[in-house]
Amino acid sequence: MQLLFVTVASAQKTADKNIVTIPFGGNSYIAYNLKTGLYDVYRGKIATFSNVSIAVKDNGKIVTSKDYSLREYNKSGIFDGFGKGIEYIITLNGNNLTKTAQVFYTYPGKEYFITQVWLVGKGVSTNSITPFVGNIPAVTGDVRSVFVPFDNDTFIRYNAKPFTAPFTNMSAEVGTVYDNNTRNGYIVGSVEHEIWKTGIRTTASKESGNTITAWAGYTDENVTRDHIEHGYVKGNIVKSPEIFVGYFDDWRTGMEEYARANRFAETPYVFNWTKPTPVGWNSWGVMQEKLSYEKATKVADFFADSLKNFRTGGTAFIDLDSYWDFMLKGGLEGDYSKLKQFADYCKSKGLQPGVYWAPFTDWGWKGGPDRKVAGTKYTYGETWTKVGDNYHDIDGARAVDPTHPATLEHIDLVIGKLKECGFKMIKIDFLGHAAAESTHFYDTTITTGMQAYRKGMEHLVDKLGDQMLIYAAISPSLATGRYVNTRRIACDAFKSIHDTQYTLNSVTYGWWQTYLYNFVDADHVVLNDESEGANRARMLSAIITGTFITGDDFSTHGQWSGRAIAWYQNPEVLKVIQNGKAFRPVDGNTGENASEMFTQKIGNSIYIAVFNYSKDAKTYTLDEKRLGLGSIKLYKIHELLHGNTVNMTTNFKFAGSDAALYKLDPK
């Protein structure tokens, strides 16, 4: 935080001289008790959070804000990524404990505050800081707490769990408790990810009440993929990540504010994408290892001849996924002329060439440690990420140390060659391998997985420059926001209604990431041999996520090519894609499944996407108030995918394994 103007040393007084009042938002404030080291958070006269404290691991001992004997207060003006604000610092001292500061940041017009903990002293070292642990009131209704994954690997799912005592949920980076009926909700989450991994624990107990805890230092093999504890952070000042805290009338609005706050707190390192929403094709959907120059150029021909209008801003991307190295002669240090020929061919057709790479993995590790890393003097065994006596293996690949010079020089070689070929898009994959906690890194100044991730990703982005659209596939959900333009919201999805439902589980509970990235993406859309309804649902799952990357083998003809020609060039559908933002879920009580309805307002039009994931026909009820419509009689209604003008009522029915997109325009 950058100091802007003069420090004010005196505490803001209340009826109790020990209470410091910190206002934020319209009518909210923090009431910090300098005597006890605890604080409450109010909206008006209602306490939204109470008995809030901190905890730090100091010399192996857990210390809370209640354990210090001295507490002092001051405030300062600041200017940072959020804009002009005020920094409030409560300094904790005494009892022979490391000097600690509780810091609060508030900003005009923001219905939340940011809090952080600093440990100050010579040679501080810790791997656990809890900047926020507090109670929330007893809640009733259809109350949920969402498990948010750390990444999008292993087909992991979000889960909106019933918040009923006894209950504990540990979520990665952000947690929320809300009533699905009223949508009122509490949100606590980390907005910084360059040093720490953060876990948010929500608990419901009949004995001790309901609590939310933000813990920096979180690792879990099933979530963060780590096999060891979090690395230690060292220095004369060790800071926790900044933590977003808020209570919102609509938890969906709160999650969107949280996503924006991440972008304010960690200014993107990548260039800002100002061109139209990306659309196009990726080879992994069907071709996979059958990729060849001949097949890929036939796809470019299909786009140029038969999908001329499937464009945003006049172009589309033709992206080669894994196995493009089949086009090389002599390996990664060899002849790239065939690959350049492909890129030139795409451009001759008015298309943009794309490519793929996984820069932080060794897929050939079973071949032994003595293989040379292309473009370097090192062997792979020297680069493998060390985890005790073992290595970090996931998805069949071994992680390489993102701080090792071999990893960085290898990036220089491959990215340099791909840029020379003229590629305009790159899909980067398996980035989570670079975020693994390690026993030690080559760069000894780096001690945590997220510090290593930052070094590797910044080097990669520096090398890429602004020549290519940077698209992340498997990757940490929040930490990747600094480094890429667009990110796939879930794991691989292909063609079935099950794939659609899986993808939309991530959209239902992760749509808000559309405000952290330029775009989020639903992965390659494959039609193949599925039913027309399942095809329609899979297509719509991409449209409402925000971009549209297709995946069929368009080098050959089949029902997929005919449907693509008929559907992908629909001008009304393209208007939605051009908007580039994910739709909001209507419901948030579906557990590991997905909402059946999503909404978005574009201009004066309201769009409602409806999905039937079951095999049987189903009748749907539109709750006009819940959808924010007023009376449905006020709108002209068109269904955009079936080609019908409909007389939509509050009850309507359509077939199983199908989807519909309704556009409502004011009469």
Query: Is the pLDDT confidence value at 513 over 90?
Result: yes
Q: How far is the C-alpha of 654 from the C-alpha of 275, rounded, in Å?
A: 37
Q: What does the pLDDT read at residue 644?
A: 65
Q: What percent of the chain has pLDDT over 70?
A: 97
Query: Is the pLDDT confidence value at 11 over 70?
Result: no
Judge residue 370's burial from the number of C-beta atoms within 10 Å of its C-beta, 0-12 exposed, 13-18 middle, 19 or more buried.
exposed
Using 50, 70 and 90 to split pLDDT, how confident is the model at 623? confident
Nearest CA among 199, 282, 258, 264 for reference residue 473: 282
The answer to whether the beta carbons of residues 218 and 172 sit under 8 Å apart is yes
pLDDT digit string, tens, across residues 192-204: 999 999 999 999 9
Beta bridge partners, 465, equal none
Nearest CA among 190, 167, 131, 195 for reference residue 452: 195
Nearest CA among 364, 351, 267 for reference residue 301: 351
Mean pLDDT value across residues 332-345 = 98
pLDDT digit string, tens, across residues 117-136: 999 999 999 999 999 999 99
Q: What does the pLDDT read at residue 188?
A: 98
pLDDT digit string, tens, across residues 64-111: 999 999 999 999 999 999 999 999 999 999 999 999 999 999 999 999
Q: How far is the C-alpha of 375 from the C-alpha of 386, rounded, in Å?
A: 22
pLDDT digit string, tens, across residues 398-449: 999 999 999 999 999 999 999 999 999 999 999 999 999 999 999 999 999 9
Mean pLDDT value across residues 640-662 = 80
Q: What is the mean pLDDT of the chain?
A: 95
Q: How far is the C-alpha of 530 from the C-alpha of 552, rounded, in Å?
A: 12
Q: What does the pLDDT read at residue 7?
A: 32
Q: What does the pLDDT read at residue 631?
A: 84
Using 50, 70 and 90 to split pLDDT, how confident is the model at 4? very low
Q: Return the amino acid letter for 341.
A: Q
pLDDT digit string, tens, across residues 362-412: 999 999 999 999 999 999 999 999 999 999 999 999 999 999 999 999 999
pTM metric for this prediction: 0.95
Dihedral pair phi/psi, residue 162, rounded to 5°: -60, 130
pLDDT digit string, tens, across residues 532-567: 999 999 999 999 999 999 999 999 999 999 999 999
pLDDT digit string, tens, across residues 581-607: 999 999 999 999 999 999 999 999 999
Q: Which domains does the chain have, with CATH numbers?
A: 19-265 (2.70.98.10), 597-666 (2.60.40.1180)
- Burial annotation 177-214 (CB, 10 A radius, 16+ → b, else e): bbbbeebbbbbbbbbbbbbbbbbbbbbbeeeeebbbbb
Written in H, E and C, the secondary structure of 92-127 is EECCCCCEEEEEEEECCCCCEEEEEEEEEEEEEEEC
Nearest CA among 333, 336, 332, 395 for reference residue 363: 395
Q: How far is the C-alpha of 331 from the C-alpha of 335, rounded, in Å?
A: 8
Query: Is the pLDDT confidence value at 2 over 50?
Result: no
Distance of alpha carbon 184 from the chain centroid: 23
- E strands, 473-547, are 486-488, 519-521
Q: How far is the C-alpha of 192 from the C-alpha of 266, rounded, in Å?
A: 6
**Strands 279-282, 317-319: parallel, antiparallel or unpaired by DSSP?**
parallel
539 in helix, strand or coil? helix
Q: How far is the C-alpha of 381 from the C-alpha of 342, rounded, in Å?
A: 34
Written in H, E and C, the secondary structure of 293-349 is HHHHHHHHHHHHHCCCCCCECCECEEECCCCHHHHCECHHHCECHHHHHHHHHHHHC
The answer to whether the beta carbons of residues 481 and 174 sit under 8 Å apart is no
pLDDT digit string, tens, across residues 22-40: 999 999 999 999 999 999 9
Mean pLDDT value across residues 277-301 = 98
Mean pLDDT value across residues 473-492 = 97
